[in-house]
Amino acid sequence: MWPTTEGVRTLIDAEHDLIRGLAGMMVDQLVAEGQQRAAPYEYDIPLFDQWDWRQRLWILDQVVRPMLGSDPAPDAAAIWEAAIEAIFAEAGDLIGMEIGGDDTPHRWRQSVVALAHQKGIDIAAVVENDVGRWNDELARLRECIFGPPNYWRAERFRDGAFEDTQRFLCQRGLPPDFLARIPPLLSIEETQEVIDRLQSIIFRDR
Residue 125, pLDDT score: 82
Residue 172, pLDDT score: 86
Residue 31, pLDDT score: 96
CA distances in angstroms from 98 to 81, 83, 95, 147, 164, listed in the order given: 26, 23, 5, 27, 45
pTM of the model: 0.94
Residue 206, pLDDT score: 47
Residue 153, pLDDT score: 80
Residue 103, pLDDT score: 61
The share of the chain scoring above pLDDT 90, in percent, equals 75
Give phi and psi for 102, each to the nearest 5.
-85, 130
DSSP codes, 74-127 = PSP-HHHHHHHHHHHHHHHHHHHHHHHSTT---HHHHHHHHHHHHHT-----TT
Question: In which residue ranges of the chain is pLDDT below 70?
Answer: 102-104, 157-161, 205-206
Residue 147, pLDDT score: 95
